[in-house]
Structure 1
Amino acid sequence: MLTFEDVQAAAKRIEGAAHRTPVLTSRTLNERVGAEVFLKAENFQRIGAFKFRGAFNAVSRLSTDQLARGVAAYSSGNHAQAVALAASLAGTSSVILMPDDAPPTKVAATRGYGAEVVTYDRYTGDRAAIAQQLATDRGVTLIPPYDHYDVMAGQGTVALELIEEVGPLSALLVPIGGGGLMAGCATAATALSPGIRMIGVEPAAGDDTARSLAAGERVEIGVPRTIADGQAIPIPGELTFAINQQLLDSVELVSDDEIRTAMAFAFERLKIVLEPSGASALAALLAGRIQGRPERIGVVLSGGNVGLERFLELLG
């Protein structure tokens, strides 16, 4: 199992490399939801998303021999950029498997950090299997996007920083894709803020974690077709689900239109840009999905990697 001490150790490793992102508040948002809300703005993290935390922590744990050979990863965009940058900072090479319909801005950024990009069809190919074969063929170390303890520990520093800054919370809303961000954040938050409600948020079209929790085992769905590309995962991670099954209190679902509404609110009221996945937890709050009237709510805004054309297309 992942431990709070693992998250604390990760915080020390990433210090000075990762940004300590700001916590935003909004009187308008507080009045609208009837609670004090604290928004952890990971759109201001390096590479524009929380993923850099886990990627840098994982790369920093590699041996000298592993670093000499290089790393591989698979991702729709944010983990791709994160591993590419972490590898570059560590002085090693990276090869990244990305879907052929990944957002062009994310592909360009990944290449910009020095990675070699290999593409595949996300609707017909098994990305984990393809990436593992690629890593084996190249003799490099594969760093998965979420199903890896060092990655989860790094992501958990999001909640660690948030609660250190604002104090105990009644509830914490976290976007769920593969489950690594939630697993890390839940491990940290439940240790720092006993009694906190851990609430995951998924796009309605990609409710694999919600279904899995209801079934008591991992359930695979078709590759979700949703604007939240970072959460378009067909099945929860094996390691992440084991943790989330124990620590999650509930999972709320949001529609693509509700995500668009949250993106617009963030732009107009908070003056920030969020990608669809980065806005999903805020969407659940704005849509009134959180029951029981928690008084102090944390929300993870997980990323802001969306190009201008795509942003206008989504909100125009």
Structure 2
Amino acid sequence: MPSITLSDIETAHTRIKPYISQTPIIKSSLLNEWLGHEIVFKAECLQKTGAFKMRGALNMMLKAKQEGRLGNEVVASSSGNHAQAVAYAAQVLGVKATIYSAKNISTVKAAATQYYGATLDLSNTRKEADQKVKEAAQKNGALWVPPFNHQDIITGQGTVVFEAMQQTDKISAVAAPVGGGGLISGSLIASKAISPNIQVLGAEPLLANDAAQSLRTGSIQSLTAQPNTLADGAATLAVGQETFPYLQALDGFYEIDEQQIAYWCQWLQHLLKLHVEPTSAMSMAAVVNWLKNQTTRQKVLVILSGGNIDYQKMQQIWQFNHLENMPSL
């Protein structure tokens, strides 16, 4: 398949623009003072359905509609944010949606998915859900909308950085979380096309480090069981064949432990006054690690990928008070 270009991402942005929110760029003067660098945040936690996933799902489904491939039904498997995105997009486009997920799906994300009119099919494990969606797509002739492993999805996710680069300038690095790799892949393509010297950094939970294992071995590795991490949005079992080559081209990759995920989730919620998911907050730990090796002042764009947190997850995040320890390099 041909590689994704900036022109593809620009076309995707034009396609989805009527249906999405242009999320703001925000910053904390206090955080910048403490770190001695300028950190700006693309607040996709304020996107419709509360996450960037809307962009990829809409791009794939709208493109399929333009080409006469959408049909009357879409299917997807997801741990939550992609489920909501597909359900919402299906509602907008007037098609039926069935979402396959594991029973440990966030209750908030499950409720929203059903609110948008999708049928939610729950399995004991994510692996079972992934198998079910494959079978459903073949049996029903429905359009399968994968969470990350498709060029149309990656292209849609690339609109996050494409849009951000029009809202701010002189970015020296971009940081994003890594689950299946769709967001970081799109971010890499858009960043490097606009400014080749930008550094692109990925962050992954240490307890769900299939991507890091894959990068170390040079081939895609899969986790054997569903990882138990605060960053549930990055708890995929394996990255995709479409996304892995982009991961290999990153300028930095960081495995983040649970304490650091909780630490930055608390601090970003406190400093930015935003409801930020642990998965998006995780990227700040990667940024701090990267900044420690920089000798000049940097301007870093951090993608806050989502803001959907249920009560149970919030309790886990705030189990200990990390606000006693101020951020520093």
Give the TM-score, by structure 2 length: 0.91
Mapping 1:214-225, distance limit 5 Å = 214-222=216-224, 223-225=226-228
Q: Which residue does the alignment assign to 2:244?
A: 241
Pick one of 277, 301, 305 that aligns with 2:304: 301
Q: Which residue does the alignment assign to 2:33?
A: 31
Q: Aligned with 2:149: secondary structure?
A: coil
1:182 and 1:229, CA in 2 relative to 1: closer, same or farther beyond 3 A?
same
Shift of 1:88: 0.7
Counterparts of 1:216 and 1:225 in 2: how far apart (Å)? 25
Q: State whether structure 2 residue 131 is matched by structure 1 residue 93.
A: no
Q: Which residue does the alignment assign to 1:151?
A: 153
Counterparts of 1:242 and 1:148 in 2: how far apart (Å)? 13
Q: Which residue does the alignment assign to 2:75?
A: 72
Mapping 1:16-27, distance limit 5 Å = 16-27=18-29
Q: Aligned with 1:238: secondary structure?
A: coil
Q: State whether structure 2 residue 142 is matched by structure 1 residue 115.
A: no
Q: Aligned with 2:243: secondary structure?
A: helix
1:115 and 1:268, CA in 2 relative to 1: closer, same or farther beyond 3 A?
same
Q: State whether structure 2 residue 177 is matched by structure 1 residue 179.
A: no
Question: Which one is further off, 39-48 or 306-315?
Answer: 306-315
Query: Do the aligned partners of 2:230 and 2:313 also contact (CA within 8 Å) in 1?
Result: no
Q: Which residue does the alignment assign to 1:52?
A: 54
Q: Aligned with 1:239: secondary structure?
A: coil
Q: State whether structure 2 residue 293 is matched by structure 1 residue 292.
A: yes
Query: Do the aligned partners of 1:203 and 1:255 also contact (CA within 8 Å) in 2?
Result: yes
Q: Mark the runs of 5 or more structure 1 residues left unpaired by the alignment.
A: none
Name the count of aligned residue pairs.
313
Shift of 1:86: 0.5
Query: Do the aligned partners of 1:168 and 1:193 also contact (CA within 8 Å) in 2?
Result: no
Counterparts of 1:219 and 1:307 in 2: how far apart (Å)? 30
Task: Quote the RMSD (CA, aligned, Å).
Answer: 1.6
Q: Which residue does the alignment assign to 2:139?
A: 137
Mapping 1:163-174, distance limit 5 Å = 163-174=165-176
Q: Mark the runs of 5 or more structure 2 residues left unpaired by the alignment.
A: 320-329
Query: Do the aligned partners of 2:266 and 2:317 also contact (CA within 8 Å) in 1?
Result: no
Counterparts of 2:82 and 2:292 in 1: how far apart (Å)? 32
Give the TM-score, by structure 1 length: 0.94
Pick one of 189, 202, 206 that aligns with 2:204: 202
Counterparts of 1:29 and 1:122 in 2: how far apart (Å)? 39
Counterparts of 2:272 and 2:61 in 1: how far apart (Å)? 33
Letter in 1 for 2:217: A
Shift of 1:129: 2.5
Query: Percent identity over the alignment?
Result: 35
